[in-house]
Structure 1
Amino acid sequence: MSTSARRTYELDRAHVFHSWSAQSLLDPMVVERAEGSYFWDGDGNRYLDFSSQLVNTNIGHQHPAVVAAIQEQAAKLCTIAPSYANDARSEAARLIAERAPAGLEKVFFTNGGADAIEHAVRMARLHTGRPKVLSQYRSYHGGTQTAVNLTGDPRRWPSDNGTAGVVHFFGPFLYRSEFGATTEEEESALALRHLERVVEMEGPSTIAAIVLETVPGTAGIMPPPPGFLAGVRELCDRHGILYIADEVMAGFGRTGAWFAIDHYGVTPDLITFAKGVNSGYVPLGGVVIADHVADTFATRPYPGGLTYSGHPLATAAAVATINAMRDEGIVENAARIGEDVLGPGLREIAERHPSVGDVRGLGVFWALELVRDRETREPLAPYGSSSPEMNDVLAECKRNGLVVFANFNRIHVVPPCTVSETEAKAGLAVLDEALTLADRHTV
């Protein structure tokens, strides 16, 4: 490790308190630089980034147009209070609304995805005058108080005191169906019936919103079956419930579309976004608001705001990111790589490895479900935890220059939307080899 990297590491361990971690057990990698689909550690080792960090560097690392836009904005106007109009924020809002479904024309900017969810829920409750919000198990919506209570995965448990007005339900997931379904069509119909019963039992007049990740991300990359989201939209319309689409991870090219909701032909009332809107170069999130919701606050003040809402550096990065994605065909590249390389390649890997129970995804948004037994579908790591076997696979990937995103018994293949065919195939080859370690623990 270089002298500078060693100092970085020592200062980190002395002073930095890390998220979601037992502090004394950490041994963080020092990252010194990054470019495109790669980053380099303090020893000079290069890694192919199949994690896109936290599934947010959609245009890759250090895109020159976005770096230049941040530099130019910093030279002109580093910051200004959100009550003032500025060109970066105005143009970013226009570009985002332009890509949202028709009828969603207003954008409220936040600092990230969790506070986007917080404000979307606040808007829904104020618009409807109702207290409850429904969300799926196997979901993640953020780490702030309302967002983490909406979350369905185990990260909610330590912070859930049961007073947030949140009700969870089982969403569709055919591989581990809660309903005994055998086809996607059955899973969709049974999941909708279950949700309708939850709404009925909770009281439709008490429910402000249903919050759904269009394609659940951290919880397992589970594209919804045909008809499910349309059914949710119809259920919401029937009972005056708002539909909030959480596109924080799935949006801005990740699924091979500007918004994942584009694949399903439905229009939500509110869309939350963050991550890919500017690839995380400067923290930014927000809520795209349907006209009928925005009208609620036309003469009635909206009781919420943030000091850094629509920060000029962040929104300048968003403008440059969206323009680069448009001009360079980055969304189309994500769709092509998924269709031609990642999808076929991962299915071939599954055929060779008994440890792979399921492959699912679209665009550059894929998951491998690792199991000990394909028949029983026993996971290679328990729900809510990891295992030595999973850790061995991840360590083998890292030894061979590949960093992947992992959660419980799953490996998520989520490279930047800019990933080349050569890079995608190289990453799959490393993963293919590493899975031989998982195969040793199958029956």
Structure 2
Amino acid sequence: MSTPSTHHAASPRTRLRLTPVERRASVMLALLFASRMLGLFLLTPIFAVAAQAIPGGNDAARVGLALGAYGLTQAFMQIPLGMASDRFGRRPVIVFGMVLFIIGGVICALAPNVDWIIVGRVVQGLGAISAAITAWVADATRPEVRTRAMAMVGGSIGISFAVSLVASPMLVGEFGLSGLFWAISILGFVCLLIAAFAVPAVPRAKAPIVQATPRDVLGHSDLLRLNFGVFCLHFILMALFIVAPGLISTLGGYESARLWEVYLPVILLSFVLMVPAVFYTETRHAHKVAMEIAVAGLVVVLALMPLASSSFVGTVAALVGFFIAFNILEALQPSLVSRVAPPEYKGLALGFYNTAQSLGIFAGGVIGGLLAAGGRSSDVFLVSAGLAFAWFLTARGFRTPS
């Protein structure tokens, strides 16, 4: 913990630099998170097509359940494992979660039909470690540089998604669906090694032993606002990507195997453009203002998407705008959770946060699919814009953490 005298002794520029331990912990945890998210995303772009080669793969309901089972069990387990990471430490909980992820991947790789893939996906989802990883980032960094560290972890979601669009069709084409699951299991083993050996040990802030309960988090209005925010953000992400591939394919003439040529530069460009915003937020301590501006930007981009989607250039520009706001919010929100949650239930608070994120992914996919089934992508954009506006109204009441 920094003392007032330490703050006076160090220059503002020095305080805003990551220390060697902070840098190594942030990079390793971002790599851990990115590898695990890649293991999740690799299945998304190709499974519905590749599953048709195995028994049960033509049943859309069972295929959908195989994809969604992971998110549902993740939602159930984030809170228990977040609490466990508070009590037993981040490293052992993450290692345990990765063991489950690997076992689930092996079950899927050996599955003779879609039903066994559903079983494997359920087992994978039981290893819900997002809350523990985010809490470990918070443990390893000072508040004044935490948003930058969270940006590394948050940005890995977009980068992992882009990489999955390139790698997934290649892996299935070369090794089949079983080979894809073996690749996912190997990624899980890499994550286990990173968690066990590569992330430096950091002292956790000593706090009185308090038996935190879910009521502590549910009674915290600012944490509830952040939970609603991450639900909205990932609902919108999933709903948007139900219609975006079709738009890009139709307007730009891209086949599904070449969609990465659009996604990759969009995500990388938006990530580069969000860096100045994150740095400004840290140096000016403007977390609340930055969050409000980013959410307002999300509302505007989504509201304009029905018009922008009439042209390829407009669609790509709107996606860049969306991912700038997405990457900023993906970095800001978990940082704010770690700031406003008391140390004794930081892991529990992040467990609720990641549960809300998992539920947003599941609900966005289901509701977005129902809206898109009517053949009007504009309905998806407008419902998402309305949800973002509701988020903006709740974010206005957020109190800036000290």
TM-score tier after normalising by the smaller chain length: under 0.3
State the TM-score, normalized to the length of structure 1: 0.25
Kindly indicate which of the two structures has a greater share of residues assigned to strand: 1
Report 1 or 2 for greater relative contact order, CA contacts < 8 Å, sequence distance ≥ 6.
2
Q: Which has the larger radius of gyration?
A: 1
